[in-house]
Amino acid sequence: MRMFDTHAHVGLIHDDPIEQLIVVQEARQDNIDGILSICNNLRDFFVVYENLKTAPNVYFAVGVSPSEVTNPGRDWEEQIEQGAAMPRVVAIGETGLDYFRKFGDKNSQIELFIRQLEIADRLRLPVIIHNREAGGDTLEILREKLPSKGGVLHCYSEDWAFAQQALELNLYISFAGNVTYRNARTLHETALNMPLDRMLVESESPFMVPAQHRGKRNKPSYMGETVRFLAELREMPEDEMADILFQNACRLFNIEP
């Protein structure tokens, strides 16, 4: 059985590069054969990339999250393009909108988001989308600006009605550990009804730990619990679900399975 963690903040699990490699090695022992490393800012991207570039099962996304909107970094667009040219960088992101935390102002967040969508389209890369309490604006922007290679709504938090609108676009929907929570009925409905070929899974580590591990700091190794939950929800074998999700990730990120 092979699994692909499409969203892991490895640099937030540990600062130490040796510990980061251990996290990756442990995940591989638990059948996580692919990990997409995510960083919220460009400084961390280049540090984590250097730490993990020799790990053959780790891929990378480069971008600026809405949390960095007030200080995206000097020459940030050029830095994204520089990072995107590096080996095993397969996506732009995460980027998007977060109206819950109220980073900066809405217009600044929207501008940062749109500019990264344009970069992704120019570089022919998919985009990893952060959406927190900003669904209306996120969907409106994506209808106009979604890159040709599509993207993923990561750590999905909207309802099935929103998902149906998103699935009209070239978008995947990714579920994190919170889908395993007993009271997450809206997520359960979405995961039960959506087409399997548009579904992804992620750890969102060190956040969103699956229910079985609540109280612990999340890591990619725990993602198998989320895959198991999704398989049980859809009443299908776990290894079949894992393989579908793995193939979906490889297709979106243009990775040889």
Residue 204 within a domain: yes
CATH number of the domain within which 47 lies: 3.20.20.140
Binding residues for a divalent metal cation are: 7, 9, 94, 130, 154
CA distances from 135 to 103, 113, 163, 205 (A): 16, 13, 10, 23
Domain that residue 38 falls in: 3-252
Residue 257 within a domain: no
pLDDT at 257: 85
Q: What average pLDDT score do residues 78-84 get? A: 98
Binding residues are: 7, 9, 94, 130, 154
- In this structure, the number of other CB atoms found within 10 A of the CB of residue 54 comes to 8
Q: Which residues pair with 62 in a beta bridge?
A: 92
Residue 187 within a domain: yes
CA distances from 192 to 178, 231, 235, 246 (A): 15, 10, 9, 18
pLDDT at 21: 96
Query: Per the structure, how many domains does the chain have?
Result: 1
Q: What is the residue-wise DSSP string for 146-203?
A: --TT-EEE-S--S-HHHHHHHTTSSEEEEE-GGGGSTT-HHHHHHHHHS-GGGEEE--
Q: Is the pLDDT of residue 140 over 90?
A: yes
**pLDDT tens per residue across span 9-53:** 999 999 999 999 999 999 999 999 999 999 999 999 999 999 999
Tell me which of 104 and 59 has the higher pLDDT: 59
Rounded to whole angstroms, how far apart are CA atoms 194 and 210? 21
